[in-house]
Amino acid sequence: MEKILIGKYVKTHGIKGEIRIKSNINYKEKIFKTGNILIIDNQEFIINTYRVHQEYDMVTFKGITNINDIINLKGSLVYINKDLINLDEDEYLDIDLINLDVYMKSNLVGKVKDIRYITKDKKLLVVNSSLVPFELIKEIDIKNKKIIIEEVSGLL
């Protein structure tokens, strides 16, 4: 079982146990699906409801009906078992890009070290110590562990 970080429980919402999760992960509709299990502070919680409010993922859990049942975990990181996500063959999570080789044309220019989120829709690859906008990605080949980006003079 591979646990992956999906966000942080930042705040409660109301008094009935709904929580706000700050997350930049992609494929939220597959992650925050009713019945999926989230892990907070090594405790498993079954998702009862999910909605988006402002920039937060709002979640309630089965058996949690009061703010006092969940408030003690505020500030904790939230994980999911990667096997529960059920991605299609051509889909990948942003974290799957970390450690992939990055090529400009056929030249290896480095490895993806991290992903940075500027806004909800704006992401950057951290290649070595340089930032590469996602818009420059031409091809992602998860099987062969490589990313091909557009050639831009002086980028890397």
pLDDT digits (tens, 9 = 90+) for 115-128: 888 876 677 778 87
Is 156 a member of any domain?
no
Residue 77 sits in the same domain as residue 108: no
CB count within 10 Å of CB 147 equals 24
Rounded Cα–Cα distance for residues 155 and 107 (Å): 13
CATH number at residue 13: 2.40.30.60
- Number of structural domains (the chain) is 2
Rounded Cα–Cα distance for residues 8 and 5 (Å): 8
Give the pLDDT of the chain (156 residues) as one tens digit per residue: 789 999 999 999 999 999 999 998 889 999 999 999 999 999 999 999 999 998 899 999 999 999 999 999 999 999 999 988 888 888 888 889 999 999 998 889 889 998 888 876 677 778 877 888 888 899 999 989 999 998 877 676
Residue 80 sits in the same domain as residue 119: no
Residue 20 sits in the same domain as residue 72: yes
CA dihedral of residues 76, 120, 91, 62 (deg, nearest 10): 40
Residue 67 sits in the same domain as residue 12: yes
CA 113, distance to chain mean position in Å, is 15
Residue 46 sits in the same domain as residue 104: no
CATH number at residue 108: 2.30.30.240
pLDDT of residue 152: 79
Give residue 43's domain range: 3-84
CA dihedral of residues 72, 53, 61, 4 (deg, nearest 10): -80
* Whole-structure pTM value: 0.81
Is 17 a member of any domain?
yes
Is 155 a member of any domain?
no
CA 23, distance to chain mean position in Å, is 6
Residue 110 near residue 118, CB atoms below 8 Å: no
Residue 8 sits in the same domain as residue 62: yes
Rounded Cα–Cα distance for residues 114 and 75 (Å): 22
Task: State phi, psi for 142 to the nearest 5 degrees.
Answer: -65, -40
Residue 18 sits in the same domain as residue 78: yes
